[in-house]
Structure 1
Amino acid sequence: MFRRTFLNILFASCLALVAWFNLSPAASALGGKLPSVNQPAPEFTLPTNTGDRAISLSDYKGKWVVLYFYPKDFTSGCTLEARRFQQDLPKYRSKNTQIIGVSADSVDSHAKFCDSEGLKFPLLADVDGKVSKAYGSWIGYVSMRHTFIVDPKGILRETYTGVNPSIHSAEVLARLNELQSAAS
């Protein structure tokens, strides 16, 4: 009985710590320095879930990019977030916007996750965390739940930390509308 209670408390404490890291301003400090808005977004090249070629941010010049970092394939919050982006994918495409997900999971894990969830946007394997670190989105051995909107010229226009996976795609779409209207 004591062991079960102890494990439940330990599990609850771990969940609280993860929530704190995802919602706290300290998350950015621990994950590294976030890139500055209205400056060029850090360039990267990473392998994708298809495994046939690597993807670079510069591949999407001329398009808006929603670059989202997340901790782990097949976990509840990450699955919900990916499903919401997939559900809204036609809206993003109509806005000349590419969704790209990044985590420390392998190409194989991403491929299984995409197949399982029917995802039609790329997931990139940042297994050493180099890109996550460049975006201030790395803690220990996983990517933090951060999202960045990059404009067609490669300029970072918005940063999200403390993401709520259930409503995040809707808030990104709303902000994308504002940014695109202001750019017109």
Structure 2
Amino acid sequence: MIKEHQVAAKIELGKKVPAFKIPSSRGETFSLSSLKGKKIVLYFYPKDSTPGCTTESIEFNDLLPKFKKENTEVIGVSRDSLKSHDKFICKYDFKFQLLSDEEEELCGLFDVIKEKNMYGKKVMGIERSTFVIDEDGKLVGEFRKIKAEGHAAEMLKFVKSL
């Protein structure tokens, strides 16, 4: 659903992130331009309600007031459906929105779909990654192959350093 600007190229550090629209857990279409003037921590995770993804999301939720003090929105993205996101949000009382990228368009833009080894079988899935976008829509941070535990605190520290 990335209609605002169909994107062929991948994003680059220091460059503006192309405008996009994607379904949000808030029952609306999320538009990157709606957060102009705020920093964004956009974290991609493999799957709702799995151990690492739950840990990472709970930590972001716990630190949300501190991110807000830094004029920063936290947004999670996975290939899960909005229905799955709703269950995940309700179960853990998340206070931030999750974006549903079932078509993998946003995942493609940020190049997070990678070959993974799951129980000896090769599968394509989301590589846990986080991107920080500044108030002007520029990509100022790119973090790949991250560990879930403690990552939210690292992102808060990074945002504070901007």
Pairwise TM-score range, normalised by the shorter structure: 0.7 to 0.9
In structure 2, the partner of 1:45 is 21
In structure 1, the partner of 2:57 is 82
In structure 1, the partner of 2:120 is none
Aligned counterpart in structure 2 of residue 94 of structure 1, from 66, 69, 85: 69
CA distance in 2, matches of 1:91, 1:147: 18
Contact 1:68 1:145 in 2 (8 A): yes
Contact 1:42 1:135 in 2 (8 A): no
Residues 141, 48 of structure 1: CA spacing in aligned structure 2 closer, same or farther, 3 A cutoff?
farther
CA distance in 2, matches of 1:154, 1:77: 28
Task: Kindly state the Cα deviation for residue 89 of structure 1 after the two structures are TM-superposed.
Answer: 0.2
In the TM superposition, 1:3-22 aligns within 5 A as none
Task: Kindly state the Cα deviation for residue 144 of structure 1 after the two structures are TM-superposed.
Answer: 1.9
Q: Structure 1: give runs of 5+ residues left out of the alignment.
A: 1-32, 180-184
Aligned counterpart in structure 2 of residue 111 of structure 1, from 86, 96, 112: 86
Task: Kindly state the Cα deviation for residue 50 of structure 1 after the two structures are TM-superposed.
Answer: 2.7
Q: For residues 16-56 of structure 1, what are the alpha-carbon distances to aligned partners after superposition, in whole Å with 9 as ceiling and x for unaligned?
A: xxxxxxxxxxxxxxxxx8621110113221111132x1101
Task: Kindly state the Cα deviation for residue 141 of structure 1 after the two structures are TM-superposed.
Answer: 5.1
SS in 1 for 2:11: coil
Q: For residues 59-93 of structure 1, what are the alpha-carbon distances to aligned partners after superposition, in whole Å with 9 as ceiling and x for unaligned?
A: 10000000000000000000000000000000000
Task: Confirm whether residue 145 of structure 1 aligns to residue 120 of structure 2.
Answer: no
Contact 1:72 1:142 in 2 (8 A): no
Q: What is the aligned-residue RMSD (CA, Å)? A: 1.4
Q: How many residues align?
A: 146
> Between Structure 1 and Structure 2, which shows a larger proportion of strand residues?
2
Contact 1:129 1:141 in 2 (8 A): no
Contact 1:100 1:123 in 2 (8 A): yes
In structure 2, the partner of 1:157 is 140
In structure 2, the partner of 1:11 is none
Q: Structure 2: give runs of 5+ residues left out of the alignment.
A: 1-8, 115-122
Amino acid at match of 1:70: Y
Contact 1:129 1:142 in 2 (8 A): no
Q: Give TM-score scaled by structure 2 length.
A: 0.86
Task: Confirm whether residue 174 of structure 1 aligns to residue 151 of structure 2.
Answer: no
Task: Confirm whether residue 125 of structure 1 aligns to residue 100 of structure 2.
Answer: yes
CA distance in 1, matches of 2:18, 2:155: 20
**How many percent of aligned residue pairs carry the same amino acid?**
38
Contact 2:43 2:75 in 1 (8 A): yes
Amino acid at match of 2:78: S
CA distance in 2, matches of 1:142, 1:50: 24
Amino acid at match of 2:48: D
